[in-house]
Amino acid sequence: MSKKLWGGRFNMNTLPEVECFTSSIEVDQELAYDDILGSMAHAAMLGECDILTQSESRLLQQGLLNIAHKLSANEVDFQIEDEDIHMNIERLLYLELGEVAGKLHTARSRNDQVALDLHLYLRRQTIDIIDLLLQLQSTLIELAQSSREIILPGYTHLQRAQPVFLAQYWLAYSGMLQRDILRLKDGWGRINQSPLGAGALNGSTMGIDKNYVAAILKFDSVYSSSMDAVSDRDFVIEFLSAASLIMAHLSRLSEELILWSSQEFNFISMSDEFCTGSSMMPQKKNPDVAELTRGKTARVYGSLMSLLTLLKGLPLTYNRDLQEDKEPLFDTVKTVRSVLSVYAPLLRGIKINAERMSAATENGFLNATALAEYLVKKKVAFRQAHEIVGKMVAYCVTKNCSLESLTLDEMQAFSELIDHSVYDALNLKNIAVLHDTNNHKGRSSIAVEIEGYQKKMQNTANWVAEKRQLLQEVIAHFGIE
Ligand code: ARG
């Protein structure tokens, strides 16, 4: 009979189909380094607490380190029969060290081990994803800088509404990304918490020191309840929810770019590097990267729903259902990372057709609200001003002309308060400038916002550097590279 590491109470082999069914190694090998790191910290703690001798503890750590090196050199074979990453590493440790390997799992369960691995994994992924968001945000800010003079229609209901500067579009998306960054940073406190020591569900009788492990792995805190530590995956769900919002934002931006690059809009063209052709229609150049970003949003939402559903009916504490948390999480991390990596270069590669954008402001009465406000400044009640301008627009529609092309006489037929200054008030660029300078005592909102983001981006960069340094110290402490 083949011997499992947990095989003591079993008289029969697991069916091969069951081995396949229960095994997760195909998926959770993604956690190999995190698992090794967690085990090294655990082994160090066992030595520190005199549960193992110092030399046993050192031996275990050295064996684990060897496995890490072999892993980097691609010299490791994982086996389905060993079920998951934890058992695979433990078997490899037997191959390295012989019987002493059997001491590693003292006062530990795979339940707290897998929870620890997930915390370690999400810690490094959170830092990387915040960094990628920062790079995208800085691209948006560069674009905002260079498009401060370009005007185009702002839309509501996808109908032309008011003239805006193109910079405002980029700044709107930068605001969304800023909140995405803050959401992930906020989740850090709950990710950077150690579950190790919770054992299967209720710790152990061995006199371990949870705080010691947490300290050498540079966690901010430990879970106070063991039963909670092995049961919950709320920190994963928070991450997936933040990831879903990142994708929602990028999906909307993608939709913008897809519309803008259509012949109907023709506001931008995307670089060939980010488009593909049609196998049948020779003339086609399709915005696939933007479309796929929109499409991949669906799978990230799906992952969030999976995890929420996975958790909802589980009694305390650990249940094997929880093994299903990994695929959606890893898939989301992979998806968000790949989208973010391709998106900054995509944006940098777009060509802006400023003339088309500006031409599009000339139809659609984008200055109608400003005209109503012109009358309000002459003490007409807004509702009445709205009515007057509404009638003027209707008149223009019958004449097929714009508001600014009416003569003063024609305009005064609607309100005697209108005078020559109306033509300045109807000028689209003037309107966009007035909107821009309305909030900051004459200073441009766009300029103020850009300055604000430069400070925010510096803060984020500092945060990323500080956390990277923290993880680097942990890795250096254990000698893993
Ligand atoms: N592979 C398992 C998971 O991902 C590890 C924990 C298994 N624990 C157990 N008691 N079978 O959740």
Q: pLDDT in tens for each of the 481 residues of the chain?
A: 567 778 888 888 888 899 999 999 999 999 999 999 999 999 999 999 999 999 999 999 999 999 999 999 999 999 999 999 999 999 999 999 999 999 999 999 999 999 999 999 999 999 999 999 999 999 999 999 999 999 999 999 999 999 999 999 999 999 999 999 999 999 999 999 999 999 999 999 999 999 999 999 999 999 999 999 999 999 999 999 999 999 999 999 999 999 999 999 999 998 888 788 888 887 878 889 999 999 999 999 999 999 999 999 999 999 999 999 999 999 999 999 999 999 999 999 999 999 999 999 999 999 999 999 999 999 999 999 999 999 999 999 999 999 999 999 999 999 999 999 999 999 999 999 999 998 888 899 999 999 999 999 999 999 999 999 999 999 999 988 7
Q: Are residues 177 and 316 in the same domain?
A: yes
206 shares a domain with 169: yes
From 308, 326, 354, the end of a domain falls on 354
Q: What is the pLDDT of residue 2?
A: 66
Number of domains in the chain: 3
Q: What pTM does this model have?
A: 0.95
CATH of residue 80: 1.10.275.10
Q: Which of 354, 387, 405 is the last residue of a domain?
A: 354
Q: Does residue 119 have an active-site annotation?
A: no
| Cβ atoms 446, 164 nearer than 8 A | no
The answer on 119 and 240 residing in a single domain is yes
Q: What H or E segment, with its residue span, contains residue 159? A: strand 159-165
Domain finish residue from 354, 371, 398: 354
**Are 350 and 374 in the same domain?**
no
Same domain, 375 and 269: no
Check which CATH number belongs to the domain holding 421 and give it: 1.10.40.30
96 shares a domain with 201: no
pLDDT the model gives residue 1? 59
- Ligand 1, atom 2, lies closest to the CA of 323
283 falls within a domain: yes
Give the model's pLDDT for residue 281.
81
Q: Could you give the CA distance from residue 128 to residue 246 in angstroms, rounded to a whole number?
A: 14
Residues lining ligand 1, Cβ inside 6 A: 24, 28, 84, 110-111, 114, 320, 322-323
Asked, for residue 272, whether it belongs to a domain, the answer is yes
> Which domain covers residue 385, as residue numbers?
361-437
Within a domain: residue 446? no
**Residue 225: which CATH number?**
1.20.200.10
Greatest alpha-carbon span in the chain: 102
Whether 466 is in a domain gets the answer no
Q: Could you say which of 55, 278, 405, 421 is catalytic? A: 278
Residue 202 sits in the same domain as residue 302: yes
Same structural domain, 228 and 276: yes
Whether residues 318 and 231 fall in one domain: yes
Q: Are residues 344 and 367 in the same domain?
A: no
The half-sphere exposure of 56 on its side-chain side, counting CA atoms within 13 A, is 20
The pick from 5, 105, 111, 232 for probing ligand 1's pocket by mutation, whose C-beta has the most ligand atoms within 8 angstroms, reads: 111
Residues 245 and 373 occupy one common structural domain: no
Same domain, 126 and 55: no
Contacts of 300 (CB under 8 A, 6+ apart): 240, 243, 244, 247, 332, 335, 336
Q: Which residues contact 409 (CB under 8 A, 6 or more apart)?
A: none
Q: Is 105 a catalytic residue?
A: no
